[in-house]
Structure 1
Amino acid sequence: MIWSCFCLLLCAHRDIQAAVRMLSAACLLLGFAPFLVHGVPPIWTQPEQVHLSYAGVPGSMVVTWTTFNKTESTVEYGLLGGRMFKLIAKGSSALFVDSGKEKRKMFIHRVTLIGLKPAATHVYHCGSDEGWSDVFSFTALNDSSSFSPRFALYGDLGNENPQSLSRLQKDTQMGMYDVILHIGDFAYDMHEDNARIGDEFMRQIQSIAAYVPYMTCPGNHESAYNFSNYRSRFSMPGQTESLWYSWDLGSAHIISFSTEVYFYLEFGLELIFKQYEWLKKDLEEANRPENRAVRPWIITMGHRPMYCSDDDQDDCTKFHSFVRLGRNDTKPPAPGLEDLFYRYGVDLELWAHEHTYERLWPVYGDKVYNGSADQPYVNPKAPVHIITGSAGCRERTDRFQPNPKAWSAFRSTDYGYSRMHIINASHIYLEQVSDDQVSRY
């Protein structure tokens, strides 16, 4: 900063030299003035990083946001076209201390809205009398089993090189999606620069996540400090700190789980078994005849795939994939997930991690089980796998092996993301959007 000193000099001739010396001293003192004033810490009560998630209960939505000083947690909301902010909901905040060197502190606020009118547009803002967010809107999810929801799905979206972000922002603002599924790996990485990268990423996705529920699962890039940034920043259903949970929408039962329990044993080997038992019970419940009749689709989302044809030696490139077949190097041996998902009739498995797009034929036990030669995806005899991890991050896209196995149906190294439309109880439509070619596959 350059400081200028302007003074009015009125003096006798004989005092000019003395006055100049005084003026120089005054200007010098003024120049150092910024360094003599003690800094006052800023007050950060303004809400930011606003995002939504579905609470798993019909007529509900969770609003989550961040402040850097403690404030009240309030959402004022109402129906679009009605009286502005007619309704008020209160919640609470939790102090999150990042484990980096600076031990930065932030307050994560959560407020659950209930009794929302299904399929109706609501407007809201969040915060307190010490600062309010912008005004946002969302459409409450339709709780009917005949609802035909539309999704955007992807993983591996970073703060740097977020190739698909602008198109996802525009899609969302055009009302194209009811839900976003982010299948692990956020920001690259949320803990970096003492969690400032996480803050910036959450600000980036606010233009999406403040308007539609943003449903997540953890990836390997969230592992720092035992996934603390992920567990603290997101608010998924259930009581598992967003690590695994399930929810219903339209004619689908959707399960989110952590593949990372197979790879970060230092955070607890028991997590593999705890999650496995939870998955088994959840799938048993979803397969009760009365439940499967209402929601015949069972869809899973987890970060690291069981199968892939990339050339990077990741878990999915190996026949003895930990996620697929489990681990025999633990005591007791840890069970994999392929047999479990096959036994309980999972229809569609969504993955990311590989920075590519790959669609598989119905596969089980490394073999193809198409519905028929002419219509492979009609009544398939095994789950269908979709890998969609090319949304864009600093690690760029991956490469494929030149000769994939028979289960690989389509591959692309373009940046992009996927769209899914659960049309009804018998049809799901999926497409991949290339951010390089502006086309669909």
Structure 2
Amino acid sequence: MATTLLLVLFGSVSLALSVPPIHTQPEQVHISYPGVEGSMVITWTTLSVTESIVEYGQWGRKMFQFTAKGNSTLFVDGGREKRKMYIHRVILTQLVPGTAYLYHCGSDSGWSDLFYFTALRETWTDGPRFALFGDMGNENPQSLARLQKETQAGIYDIILHIGDFAYDMHEDDGKIGDEFMRQVESIAAYVPYMTCPGNHEEAYNFSHYRNRFSMPGDTESLWYSWNVGPAHIISFSTEVYFYLGYGLELLFKQYSWLKNDLEEANRPENRAVRPWIITMAHRPMYCSNDDKDDCTKFESYVRLGRNDTTPVAPGLEDLFYRYGVDLELWAHEHTYERLWPVYGFKVFNGSTEEPYVNPKAPVHIITGSAGCREKHDGFIPKPREWSAFRSTDYGYTRMQVINSTHLYLEQVSDDQYGKVIDSIMLVKERHGPEAWN
């Protein structure tokens, strides 16, 4: 009797172990703004094939009043296991700007938790509010808890993650990327999570970055632009200057796109409506760190271009200056650094007393200290003359584009329990290249 019972139990266990798992539950939910007012993209992952459905409705009204359907794409990780995952995308349209919506995503094979977001407006009375940072990993994501709390408290309208995710998304056959996307779901499922690629996304030709995120345009999220409030925001890849093995043509294609986008943004009718031009990309043109990165060299590829290519690859400092870019946001260095208005290594403050009032060159902010396994970077002992403030504290930056003339930035130290350790008000009564005169 006992032997028979053991055989039955063992047979049941063996049968259970032989059944392949079904992975139809949505996870890694995040949202992004596709650049069209009244719309939002919902992106998530499953490990098995399912439908792609979002049920949603206005806050305070009938729950799941609306249904939208999208599609999924198969993504195969480049590692040894060749793990498969399905990336789902659904675009919500005809949203009422400024209105809060509840939603969940998935299918009848499994639904996500309930989330909410506020549809973005392109015109604002008090200016959109951002959290910005780069270099946040799955291990030691020092600033994540504070960002989770502040995001769900409604402090931010938009998140800008300026490259380097998870450390690294491709590791352990993509499982580290999965875990990181689950971690940031508590931020990215509530406000648009806008991104650019960093050097830590390089594996398999940036495949995890290109597949996991859903940014505007048709460049697989590598470069794009969008409008919000009085700002035109440009996201691009500095990595095209470093990983030439994936194609030198990408560098020239991006440069041509940047030039055309800046020309369009500078048309008088466009600059009148969106006077602020803000760029975001991973590796900075300037920094006073001591780690021999590109920005520590006077011949920076990003700033000046490359002379060792055929044809010669153009840099970006002259282009951005020529088209009157106001603010340039960077990461990569695991520190925070604010620069005086600078061009060609020369300081062009508005005045001695008010350097950020009508400056005569772009302002650069480096914010790469959100927290990762590589810990902090160091600074050279004596700051360069164009370096205004430096900190090695873990933390992140807040930004509010208040109106057409005022933009506010402050740096939050997570090491000092959320203390604001630096702030500036950037004031520009004129925008465009004529502002430099």
1:192 partner SS: coil
CA distance in 2, matches of 1:230, 1:268: 17
1:32-111 matched pairs, under 5 angstroms: 33=11, 36-37=14-15, 39-111=18-90
Out of 241, 247, 266, the position equivalent to 2:226 is 247
Residue in structure 1 matched with residue 163 of structure 2 by the alignment: 184
SS in 2 for 1:194: coil
1:359 aligns with 2:338: yes
Provide Cα deviations, 1:125-174, integer angstroms capped at 9, x if missing partner.
11111111111100111121555100000000000000000000000011
Partner of 2:310: 331
Deviations 1:26-85 (A, max 9, x none): 687578657743511111111110000001000110000001111111111110011111
| TM-score (normalised: structure 2) | 0.94
Shift in Å at residue 404 of structure 1? 1.7
Q: What residue is the counterpart of 1:428 in the other structure?
A: 407
Question: Whole-Å Cα distance in 1 between the matches of residues 12 and 322 of structure 2?
Answer: 70
Whole-Å Cα distance in 2 between the matches of residues 369 and 190 of structure 1? 40
Q: State the AA in 2 paired with 1:389.
A: G
**Are 1:113 and 2:92 an aligned pair?**
yes
Q: 2:255 aligns with which of 256, 276, 280?
A: 276
Residues 1:342 and 2:321 are matched in the alignment? yes
Measure, in 1, the Cα distance between the counterparts of 2:222 and 2:286.
22
Measured in 2, the distance between the counterparts of 1:27 and 1:191 equals: 46
Quick check: 1:141 aligned with 2:120? yes
Q: Choose the corresponding residue for 1:320, options 289, 299, 302.
A: 299
The CA distance in 1 between the partners of 2:357 and 2:269, in whole Å, is 23
Question: Quick one: which of 174, 186, 198 aligns to 1:207?
Answer: 186
Deviation track 1:291-334 (CA, whole Å, cap 9, x = no partner) reads: 11111100000000000000000000000000000000000010
- Asked if residue 267 in structure 1 is aligned to residue 246 in structure 2, the reply is yes
Cα distance, 1:375–1:96 mapped onto 2, change above 3 Å = same
CA distance in 1, matches of 2:250, 2:125: 35
Measure, in 2, the Cα distance between the counterparts of 1:147 and 1:323.
34
Q: Would the alpha carbon gap of residues 33 and 138 (structure 1) be closer, same or farther in structure 2, given more than 3 Å must change?
A: same
- Structure 1 partner of 2:367: 388
Structure 2, unaligned stretches of length 5 or more? 423-437
Q: Does the 8 Å contact 1:137/1:210 carry over to 2? A: yes
How many residues get paired?
419
Distance 2:111 2:4 in 1: 44
Corresponding position of 1:123:
102
Q: Distance in 1 between matches of 2:326 and 2:125?
A: 18
Correspondence for 2:425: none
- Supply the AA of the counterpart residue of 1:158: G
CA distance in 1, matches of 2:405, 2:20: 58
Give deviations 1:317-368, integer Å, cap 9, x for gaps: 0000000000000000100000000000000000000000000000000110
Indicate how the Cα distance of structure 1 residues 147 and 60 shifts in structure 2: closer, same or farther if over 3 A, else same: farther
Task: State how far apart, in whole Å, the 1-side matches of 2:249 and 2:357 are.
Answer: 38
Deviation digits for residues 221-275 of structure 1 (CA, Å, limit 9, x no counterpart): 0000000000000000000000000000000000000000000000000111000
Q: Are the counterparts in 2 of residues 147 and 250 from structure 1 also a CA contact under 8 Å? A: no
1:124 is paired with a residue whose SS is strand
Q: Secondary structure at the match of 2:25?
A: coil
Aligned to 2:140: 161
State how far apart, in whole Å, the 2-side matches of 1:31 and 1:176 are.
Answer: 55
Q: Identify the match of residue 411 of structure 1 among 390, 409, 431.
A: 390
Q: Are positions 1:174 and 2:153 aligned together?
A: yes
- Root mean square deviation of aligned Cα: 1.3
